[in-house]
């Protein structure tokens, strides 16, 4: 028997752990069960041949397979750097062309790149979950609280304060000036902005970084990912 989880909830963890206990195979598109308590992650991956979760990180890139293959060969992985959000990748590359942040986000939503509430992407939490999965694969016994995550909007524009409609109609525009200043400052140094995750021996950071325009991250366009 194979259980496939294509949901976007933490509620399936119990069922998935029971499935593993009963020798079932598990296939995950849902990354949240792997980002719960570390003990749950260990339980779900304790029989590695029974679980597949490639699509939880890096879209179509074979990131999980590559990392696990390197580890299985006995080689250490000291650092992982990547752009792991197609939505934020699209937004960042469009900003280079002089477009306003608010307009780019709205276009990304219209194209179906973002979640129904774009703040789910702009908060960086989706990237943080992917970073956490990779860090745990490297043996780091950490949780979401251990990851430094930079949100692209302040708390006063958060979902607890204003509705999705209000955020799109008036909140987003308040971010244009600040983002534009960062884009221009990076450009003067020959750099571009990318939303990057960095996983090292001392922890994880997720947020905006200036990178050289001709680097692997800097050359990204549209919704492509790279690690």
Could you tell me the CATH number of the domain that includes residue 193? 3.30.360.10
Residue 44 has pLDDT above 90, yes or no: yes
Asked if residue 97 belongs to a domain, the reply is yes
Q: What is the model's pLDDT at position 165?
A: 95
User: Residue 160 — very low, low, confident or very high, per pLDDT cuts 50/70/90?
Assistant: very high
Residue 201 has pLDDT above 90, yes or no: no
User: Residue 52 — very low, low, confident or very high, per pLDDT cuts 50/70/90?
Assistant: very high
Q: What is the model's pLDDT at position 222?
A: 87
Across the range 154-164, mean pLDDT stands at: 95
Asked if residue 61 belongs to a domain, the reply is no
Residue 134 contacts by C-beta under 8 Å, 6 or more apart in sequence?
57, 63, 67, 80, 197, 199
Q: What is the model's pLDDT at position 48?
A: 86
Q: What is the model's pLDDT at position 202?
A: 78
Same domain, yes or no, for 170 and 124? yes
Same domain, yes or no, for 35 and 133? no
Same domain, yes or no, for 103 and 142? yes
Same domain, yes or no, for 128 and 207? yes
Beta strands 2-5 and 51-52 are: unpaired
Max intra-chain CA distance, the chain: 58
Q: What is the model's pLDDT at position 203?
A: 83
Asked if residue 65 belongs to a domain, the reply is no
Same domain, yes or no, for 113 and 179? yes
Q: What percent of the chain has pLDDT over 70?
A: 100
The active-site residue out of 31, 109, 130, 174 is 130
Same domain, yes or no, for 31 and 131? no
Q: What is the model's pLDDT at position 18?
A: 93
Q: Which residues, in sequence order, are bridge partners of residue 80?
A: 199
Residue 212 has pLDDT above 90, yes or no: yes
Asked if residue 71 belongs to a domain, the reply is no
The string of DSSP codes covering 65-117 is HHHHHHHHTT-----EEEB--HHHHHHHHHHTTT--HHHHHHHHHHTT-S-SS
Same domain, yes or no, for 49 and 146? no
Same domain, yes or no, for 49 and 81? no
* pTM exceeding 0.75: yes
Asked if residue 68 belongs to a domain, the reply is no
> What's the rounded Cα separation, in Å, for the pair 3 and 11?
14
Q: What is the model's pLDDT at position 43?
A: 94
**Domain limits for position 22:** 1-56
Q: What is the pLDDT of residues 164-183, one digit of tens each?
A: 999 999 999 999 999 999 99
Same domain, yes or no, for 84 and 194? yes
Q: What is the pLDDT of residues 87-129, one digit of tens each?
A: 999 999 999 989 999 999 999 999 999 888 999 999 999 999 9
Residue 131 has pLDDT above 90, yes or no: yes
Residue 219 has pLDDT above 90, yes or no: yes
Q: Under DSSP, is residue 14 helix (H, G, I), strand (E, B) or coil?
A: helix
Asked if residue 10 belongs to a domain, the reply is yes
Q: What is the model's pLDDT at position 16?
A: 95
User: Residue 49 — very low, low, confident or very high, per pLDDT cuts 50/70/90?
Assistant: confident
The mean pLDDT of the chain is 94
Same domain, yes or no, for 44 and 91? no
Number of domains in the chain: 2
Q: Is 130 a catalytic residue?
A: yes
Q: What is the model's pLDDT at position 59?
A: 79
Asked if residue 81 belongs to a domain, the reply is yes
Same domain, yes or no, for 86 and 14? no
Same domain, yes or no, for 46 and 91? no
Asked if residue 125 belongs to a domain, the reply is yes
């Amino acid at each position: 028997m194979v259980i496939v989880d294509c949901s976007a909830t933490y509620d399936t963890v119990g069922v998935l752990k029971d499935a593993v206990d009963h020798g079932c195979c598990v296939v995950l598109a849902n990354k949240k069960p792997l980002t719960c308590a570390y003990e749950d992650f260990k339980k779900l991956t304790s029989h590695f041949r029974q679980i597949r979760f490639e699509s939880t990180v890096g879209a179509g890139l074979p990131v999980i397979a590559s990392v696990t293959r390197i580890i299985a060969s006995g080689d250490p992985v000291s650092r992982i750097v990547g752009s792991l959000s197609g939505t934020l990748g699209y937004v960042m590359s469009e900003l280079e062309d002089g477009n306003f942040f608010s307009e780019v986000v709205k276009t990304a939503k219209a194209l179906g790149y973002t979640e129904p509430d774009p703040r789910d992407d702009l908060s960086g939490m989706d990237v943080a979950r992917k970073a956490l999965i990779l860090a745990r694969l490297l043996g780091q016994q950490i949780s979401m609280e251990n990851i430094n995550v930079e949100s692209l909007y302040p708390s006063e524009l958060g979902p607890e304060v204003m509705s999705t409609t209000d955020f799109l109609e008036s909140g987003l525009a308040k971010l244009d000036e600040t983002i534009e200043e960062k884009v221009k400052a990076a450009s003067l140094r020959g750099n571009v902005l990318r939303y990057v995750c960095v996983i090292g021996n001392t922890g994880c950071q997720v947020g905006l970084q200036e990178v050289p325009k001709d680097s692997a991250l800097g050359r990204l366009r549209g919704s492509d990912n790279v690690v």
